[in-house]
Amino acid sequence: MSATFASLGVRNYRLFATGGVVSNTGTWMGRVAQDWLVLTQLTDHSSTALGTVTGLQFLPFLVLAPWTGLIADRYPKRRIMLVTQTVLMTSAAALAALTLAEVVQLWQVYLVAIVQGVATAVDNPARQTFTAEMVGQGLIANAVALNSASFNLGRLAGPGVAGLLIAAYGTGWTLLANAVSFAAVIASLLLMRAADLHAVPLARGKGTIREGLAYVRGRRDIQLVLLLVFVLGTFGMNFQMTMALMATTVFGKGATEYGLLGSVMAVGSLSAALLSARRERPRLRVLLVALGGFVVTSGAAALAPSYAVFAVALAGCGLTALTALTTANALVQISVDPVMRGRVMALYMAIFMGGTPLGAPFIGWLGDVAGPRWTIGIGTVTVGVTVVAVGALLLRRENVQLSYASRRQPHFQLTVGPVDADLVGSSEPEVAR
């Protein structure tokens, strides 16, 4: 099997990935339908309401992170995911039923968003760490990249299908399709062979939450990655909201065109995931270069003069953002002690997704006050400033040497001593060409 798809050679992971593609497609259909419901049926294109829904979905990541990470480290991951996926399916079905019955109200959408946020906050650390149990330590980076590929296959198909379903049958039936899709993940978990899992010791005793926080405080390499991920997640990764605003308000498009934007962005994201799957180990330089690329492409999206140009820029945003996130995720998972992985990944997801409740309402308000283009532009500015600041810090702290030779290719070589061997994945200096 190709190195890109090495993890698919593991039966348990193959089942998990298959169920994930179905579920992720449904999830993206549900997100598009939910946003369309709020934006066009329950409000008069209120970006504030849309930002509030998004914020409520991600608030539990921020509030519950210490406990969700501990749950992932203390209890069997597969059992946790069976419970959380059932809750997600039930809440999605409830929203679909309310919409089909034409009695849905905005406060009910808010309530469902909170319930799903809590379930997802518990599910995510277990899901992230369960990857290592399915494939083993040697295939973690590859499996993380393929998880992203599965997610973006869903993103590729989901929004386009959702746009067509909304136009043909309405929002309620699209939401119902999302509810049904959770059955694929539940089935994949039930069909796995427990004996083939690479089980890790479960955390026991008191003070385990404090242990997780203390572990991260002692790891400056992880702190650096968390800073970059926080800024990207809080200010740069609000495309669920910004695409809806740009499509409807700036370009005057309907549900079909809005759905297609998500699919176009997913093309770039899927490409990034497959390219990341080919790398043997994650690198800090890849993370920084990807974030720099995100600044360029998101800036182009904010300034796009037409729908077509905006769509092309979104593909670039998907490519660069997903490269950054896949690299950051693998960097953290590979470098931490397995018994601490759940708590560290919970903190990682809290930083990445938990920043959304802070950023989304603000960005929604900014869209109402300054216009939809600034909902993207604010991410361009904040990520750009952060990358420059981190780059300056690394240049000041590292041993940087530039050499030239006229008889070799390339002529110039930049040799950089790593800040931390765990962060860059090697004890040897990196050579950028």
CA terminus-to-terminus distance, the chain:
30
d(CA 411, CA 168): 59
Claim to verify: residue 135 and residue 231 sit in the same structural domain: yes
pLDDT of residue 405: 54
Coil vs helix vs strand at 337: coil
Residue with structure tokens 């960005």?
A: 363
d(CA 140, CA 153): 20
pLDDT of residue 52: 84
Q: Is the pLDDT of residue 237 over 50?
A: yes
Nearest CA to 350 among 239, 237, 229? 229
pLDDT averaged over every residue in the chain:
81
Claim to verify: residue 352 and residue 413 sit in the same structural domain: no
Asked if residue 29 lies in contact with residue 174, where contact means CB atoms within 8 angstroms, the answer is yes
Q: Which of 102-111, 396-405, 422-431 has the lowest mean pLDDT?
A: 422-431
d(CA 151, CA 351): 20
Whether the CA torsion 95, 101, 106, 107 is positive or negative: it is: negative
Claim to verify: residue 218 and residue 318 sit in the same structural domain: yes
d(CA 158, CA 38): 18
pLDDT of residue 7: 81
Nearest CA to 179 among 41, 60, 87, 59? 87
pLDDT of residue 409: 53
Question: What is the number of structural domains in the chain?
Answer: 2
Claim to verify: residue 335 and residue 432 sit in the same structural domain: no
Beta strands in 242-365 (DSSP E): none
pLDDT of residue 402: 41
Q: Which amino acid is it at 275?
A: L
Q: Is the pLDDT of residue 47 over 80?
A: no
Q: What is the mean pLDDT of residues 396-418?
A: 51
Q: Which helix (H) or strand (E) holds 307?
A: helix 307-335
Nearest CA to 66 among 351, 290, 425? 351
For residue 3, the 8-state DSSP code is: G
Claim to verify: residue 210 and residue 270 sit in the same structural domain: yes
Claim to verify: residue 12 and residue 111 sit in the same structural domain: yes
pLDDT of residue 178: 94
pLDDT of residue 154: 77
pLDDT of residue 400: 45
Claim to verify: residue 284 and residue 407 sit in the same structural domain: no
Claim to verify: residue 247 and residue 366 sit in the same structural domain: yes
Claim to verify: residue 300 and residue 267 sit in the same structural domain: yes
pLDDT in tens, 238-294: 787 788 788 888 888 887 787 788 778 878 877 877 777 777 677 778 888 899 999
What is the percent of the chain with per-residue pLDDT over 70, rounded to a whole number?
Answer: 85
Claim to verify: residue 322 and residue 189 sit in the same structural domain: yes
* Residue 76 vs residues 58, 127, 133, 138, 315: alpha-carbon distances, Å: 24, 11, 10, 21, 38
Structural domain boundaries, residue 349: 3-397
* Residue 71 vs residues 204, 208, 235, 414: alpha-carbon distances, Å: 11, 10, 29, 44
Nearest CA to 259 among 33, 102, 64? 33
Q: Which CATH number covers residue 256?
A: 1.20.1250.20
Q: Is the pLDDT of residue 401 over 50?
A: no
* Phi-psi region at 45: left, alpha or beta (left = phi > 0; alpha = psi -120 to 50): left
d(CA 381, CA 138): 37
pLDDT in tens, 291-333: 999 999 999 999 999 999 999 999 999 889 888 888 888 888 7
Claim to verify: residue 328 and residue 404 sit in the same structural domain: no
Claim to verify: residue 316 and residue 369 sit in the same structural domain: yes
d(CA 148, CA 318): 11
pLDDT in tens, 266-275: 788 778 777 7
